[in-house]
Amino acid sequence: MTDTQTISVTVNGETASAAVPVRQNLVDFLRNTLGLTGSHVGCEHGVCGACTLEVDGAMVRGCLMLAVQADGAKVTTIEGYGDRAAALRAAFIDRNALQCGYCTPGMLASALEYVEGGGGADRAAIREHLSGNYCRCTGYQSIVDAVCDVIEGESS
Amino acid sequence: MKAAEFLYERPASVAEALALLADEDRDATPLAGGQSLMPMMNFRLAQPGTLVDLSALEDLRGITLSDGMVRIGAMTRYVELVRSGVVADHAPLLAMALPHIAHAAVRNRGTIGGSVALADPAAEMPALLLALDAQITVQSAEGTTTHGATDFFLGMYETALEEGELVSEIAIPVAAPTDRFAFYELARRHGDYAMAGVAVARRDNAHRVAFFSISDRALRAFDAEEVLDKGGSVIDAVAALAELPYSGDLNAAIPTKKHLSGVVLTRALEAL
């Protein structure tokens, strides 16, 4: 019974061990302790999606999971997607889907799950899947365009 | 905002979890998927002394069919319900509603038991369970009790759960081929909490109509059910919603909630 616990997490392929306050959320641990500042912090109550990242293969809200809950898990952030997200990265750039870039790490995490899950180039379905991510620049059209480009590119 | 200080435990067994929850000195709160409790803690609306993380309790997970019921372990995540063939085949109302329950990232962590235990008046699951005449099993150190959904949701974030008890299983009667179900909600953004929503089930010409996000809890519209059971029109069913105990929220005042209730019921009945 303690308010600090030592965790061991594999983040972007590298194992990290650290003593974390149990009240610390996962995204703060990644940013403040590991220096992985790619995942952004927005609303801190699960609404905006800026902190969306991957834990054990599923995208989650980094602000709604405690760092201590990630003990033993595999975490992937925007810094660690590598080739998996190469097509999406290129399409986001081609379509000017980044704009200010604040939502981009979360958008990319959500889009990647959609694309890797076999989602089709169906704009309504893409919008529904990305509906949990706010873009402060309201750049949704170009983000959906980018996701469609990747799916159509891969299917042709 | 950040959560206040608390102590954290991740018990390895249900018995251990129940012992922690029964320890009055701890002021313990169970943590299921955390998709509602964590925001409440970040806002300091909830400040548990000890957080009892249930995520290691595999006994509380899984979806099975037995005795004419779809049995869902409380720690089963929404994403597992979305992917379940058993749910798709035997609990079609759930399958219909699941895409409207939050967003994919939240469904990856959120659990059915967490939603049931929290009893958020704006959440879909309590209303779905009311419409489906579900049974909710709770465990404590003393044993197991089963509640009908209609007797379980008592008020705003208030249920029949007592101190030291955990929701362990939700059981839903298997749908017959002749049963009809409908679900409709009005939300400002897909996946957000609805401004008003309704779940409808018709079995052997008996209707169950359950609303969410219009009152301090999910509730059945008994008067509207009676109208529909007698073969009344959609207009009469909507008129029978007048006496529901509406309450307003940040999105809509009571007159708007009343209006939207009629809208969602009309659209659900048209789809039935």
Q: Which one of B8, B16, B107 would you mutate to disrupt binding with A, by most A Cβ within 10 Å of its Cβ?
A: B8
CA distance A22 to A115: 34
Q: pLDDT tens digit string along A96-108?
A: 999 999 999 999 9
Task: Give the tokens for residue A29.
Answer: 């641990």
* pLDDT confidence of residue A155: 53
Task: Indicate whether B147 pLDDT > 60.
Answer: yes
Amino acid at A31: R
Q: CB-based contact (8 Å) between B233 and chain A?
A: no
Contact present, B125 and B136 (Cβ < 8 Å): no
CA–CA separation, B42 vs A51, rounded Å?
A: 15
Q: Under an 8 A CB cutoff, do A3 and B38 touch? A: no
Give the minimum alpha-carbon distance from B239 to chain A in angstroms, rounded to a whole number.
Answer: 33
Q: Residue range B77-104: average pLDDT? A: 97
Per-residue pLDDT tens for A112-149? 999 999 999 999 999 999 999 999 999 999 999 999 99
pLDDT at B192 over 50: yes
| Token representation of residue A71 | 């003990």
Question: Does B39 contact A45 at a Cβ distance shorter than 8 Å?
Answer: yes
d(CA B248, CA A135): 29
pLDDT tens per residue across span B150-190: 999 999 999 999 999 999 999 999 999 999 999 999 999 88
- CA dist B41 and B49 (Å) reads 11
pTM equals 0.95
| Whether the predicted pLDDT of A156 surpasses 70 | no
Across the A:B interface, residue pairs with CB atoms under 8 Å apart total 95
B40: nearest CA partner in chain A: A45
> pLDDT of B209-257, one tens digit each?
999 999 999 999 999 999 999 999 999 999 999 999 999 998 899 999 9
